[in-house]
Amino acid sequence: MERATTEPEYSIRIEPIAGPAAAAERMLDELADWASDCISRYADAPPTDVHDQLTYTTGWEPLLRQRRDGDILDFLREQRDAVCEHFATTGQWDHGYWRMHEVHHGTEHFELFLGMMARLDPTDACTRAQIVDAAEHTGNWSNDVEPWFDWEQGMYRSMYLGTDGVRVEPGLELNLPDHFRCINMAVIAHGLTGQQHYLDLAAAAAGQWAAAIAEGPRLPFALAPAASGGGGRALYALDESVMRAYRDFVGEMQSQQHDLGRAENLLASDGVGALLALWQRQGDPTARRAAERILDTLAPALADADAGAVADAMGRYRRVTG
């Protein structure tokens, strides 16, 4: 057999770099080029109906922490406000959040994009207003919207939440790792406002997970309402009918059959970040132990070629705990 002599369709020349500092500068240069290209393409483009259309910009956060580029920040603010106006005027949002959405994708714009905007500039009044308008629903602080959270159980009432109410069907009342995204919205709002009720919500909701993770025989896959009284009970596997309902909106979730898959599900919705925030802000030792157990389970994945998310979570743990 003759060896192919044609060049691959896509190739890149690898050149040596003189140390980590130069490598970091090159990465920042490439991020700046990416952001500049996006601004050229999308600055005048109208918003779309895609729920996470600005999530791609969260990759620029390391750049903006090192280089406060005014043009990029202006673009992000303009896009933030255009997307908000689009979803409000088209009726897809009401009272600052989706009329109805599953908890995985519905939270993404608020937790990921607006969360980044809050970290970059916590004094920005528009970012704060948009986050608070959405986050107030995570703990039932708006009388205009049916309650999402059951304070007695310490659990969310469904996989599907919105300002039109709560979709309660058999199987949908479980709490999933994806509900950590609601908790993280409350944590972000607490950081911006200092208002205690957001932290109380995080403690009530994440506390259920912390106990199940830190004290159970295995990592839980989900939480179910207790048969009587307050609190939830850990589930280590779901019925296939419930799994189908879950897969309807999370096609890439990991297997429920082993701890590594459960840990990856918790990591994907930043359960580690929520638990560390609870420990950092309230000193809850169970929350820290739960975060450590997730990270211990994930540690073997550091050998994978694509282990950036695990490495980042461990880096955050070290920064928070010292």
pLDDT in tens, 54-64: 999 999 999 99
- Find the mean pLDDT for residues 56-73: 97
Average pLDDT across the chain, whole number = 92
Kindly give the pairing relationship between strand 97-98 and strand 165-167: unpaired
The pLDDT score that the predictor gives to residue 256 is: 62
CA dist., res. 106 & res. 97, Å (int):
8
The pLDDT score that the predictor gives to residue 250 is: 74
- Find the mean pLDDT for residues 284-299: 97
Residue environment code for 44-65, b if the CB has 16+ CB neighbours within 10 A, otherwise e: eeebeeebebbeebbebeebbe
CA dist., res. 169 & res. 155, Å (int):
15
Query: What ranges make up the beta strands (E) of the chain?
Result: 93-94, 97-98, 101-102, 149-150, 155-156, 160-162, 165-167, 222-225, 232-235
The pLDDT score that the predictor gives to residue 252 is: 65
CA dist., res. 247 & res. 238, Å (int):
12
CA dist., res. 276 & res. 65, Å (int):
22
pLDDT band at 9 (very low <50, low <70, confident <90, very high): confident
| pLDDT higher than threshold 80 for residue 224 | yes
Task: Name which of 21-25, 200-204, 254-258 the model is least confident about.
Answer: 254-258
Task: Name which of 12-16, 52-56, 235-239 the model is least confident about.
Answer: 12-16
Does the CA dihedral 79-266-240-227 come out positive or negative?
A: negative
Residue 227's alpha-carbon distances to 149, 181, 232, 241, in angstroms, are 17, 25, 9, 20
Instruction: Read off the pTM.
Output: 0.92
CA dist., res. 315 & res. 28, Å (int):
20
The pLDDT score that the predictor gives to residue 229 is: 62
